[in-house]
Amino acid sequence: MISGAWSRRAFLAGLGASLAAQNSAPAPEWRKYLDPATEFEVLLLTDPQFESRFPAPPALAVDRRNRMVVYASDRSGQWQPWVMDLTSGQSRQLGSHASFVPETLTFSANGRDAIFAVGGRLVAMTVANLKTRPLTVLEGGAEWASPVAPSPDGTALFYTEKRDGVWRIQRLPARGPVVEVASAEEPMLAPAPNPRRAMVLWRTAGGGLEVAAFDGSLRRRLEVPAGRVLEAHWSPDGQSILYLHEAGGERPGTAIREQRLDTREDRLVAATSQFGRFSSNANGSVFAGASRSAASPFVLILLRVNRRELALCEHRASDVSMAAPVFTPDSQKVLFVSDRLGKPAIFLMNVEKLIEKTDS
């Protein structure tokens, strides 16, 4: 175990120079250390000699059983999809794909399939046996322009495509053809389906928020305080939108706010210590955040009930947007990404002593 102030050079050397060949599963690479700032234990899950990133929300990085994380890595010489067993630390490459698009990777809602694009084709691969089936194909001239987001009930996938200078949010039902939800002549970022209602949420390039029904009706732009929205998610019950808001001014601060979908009431949930990314646990009682402060680049948890923050560890990512901290479905672990040791790698912290377990 590495504790206190530790040598970056020695730590990297200790990871081992020999990795398994492309078609064989590498040995577990986990390394434990005590965070120098908080003295909490942190697990490094992937070797920082190679780039590795898990899909950020609204995509799904962890399966419902809390056993596997799906991630993209260039460890084989080119970007490919991988899956890691969070019990053993063993990773497996999910086939070899010449035109794999890392930004589209996600678990299916039930966690049995990895879903990703290969060129213009979207496919689903069963993790257990690596059998692949086609899902859809982009029309000529189109390109992927967002993550792929499964609806929680597993009935559809949502994504944005760009074609001829127009962004289109598409819904791909489990059965039937692709249906356009909405379009715009500006980026439509991170479309996320509501967990309870037939609605989809997305961010605009200018930091706004929009919602629409699955058929494109009821489309509207949310009225939010002056500033811009950095990230947005549905509440677990689907009745409101939780968003990270940056106020204007010379020293812009960030806060988590909530807007009710029906009444449009907008209120402050909690001010944050300069969160640049955030996500919620399964019941919305706790938030995980990554601070964009250069002086205090922490991964933190924020308790909704009393608005108090607790620093878990330093992320020290060169760009806070890559950190993307997320809870496992049972709220017992927090994963994040950082390039503090070289290239982007995946880290994990166990928080079962700090947060109550939630239903997966």
Per-position pLDDT tens, the chain of length 360: 333 333 333 333 333 333 333 334 555 679 999 999 999 999 999 999 999 999 999 999 999 999 999 999 999 999 999 999 999 999 999 999 999 999 999 999 999 999 999 999 999 999 999 999 999 999 989 999 999 999 999 999 999 999 999 999 999 999 999 999 999 999 999 999 999 999 999 999 999 999 999 999 999 999 999 999 999 999 999 999 999 999 977 777 999 999 999 999 999 999 999 999 999 999 999 999 999 999 999 999 999 999 999 999 999 999 999 999 999 999 999 999 999 999 999 999 999 999 999 986
Are 223 and 198 in contact, with CB atoms under 8 Å apart?
Answer: no
Residue 165, helix vs strand vs coil: coil
Residue 254, helix vs strand vs coil: strand
C-alpha 348/C-alpha 353 separation (Å) is 15
Residue 322, helix vs strand vs coil: helix
Task: Check whether the bond before 81 is cis (ω within 30° of 0).
Answer: no
Are 216 and 180 in contact, with CB atoms under 8 Å apart?
Answer: yes
C-alpha 159/C-alpha 192 separation (Å) is 8
60, two tokens: 């799904």
Write the CA distances from 15 to 49, 59, 86, 335, integer angstroms: 9, 29, 18, 20
DSSP state of 203: E
C-alpha 70/C-alpha 73 separation (Å) is 10
**Computed from CA positions of residues 268, 274, 277, 281, in that sequence, does the dihedral angle turn out positive or negative?**
negative
Alpha helices in the chain (DSSP H): 8-13, 320-323
Burial of 294 (0-12, 13-18, 19+ CB in 10 A): exposed
C-alpha 312/C-alpha 35 separation (Å) is 8
187, two tokens: 């980026």
DSSP states along 205-230: TTS-EEEEETTSTT-EE----SSEEE
Element (H, E) at 32: strand 31-34
For 295-327, the pLDDT digits (tens) are 999 999 999 999 999 999 999 999 999 999 999
Query: Phi/psi class of residue 162: alpha, beta or left (left: φ > 0; alpha: ψ in -120 to 50)?
Result: beta
Element (H, E) at 291: strand 286-291
- Model pTM? 0.90
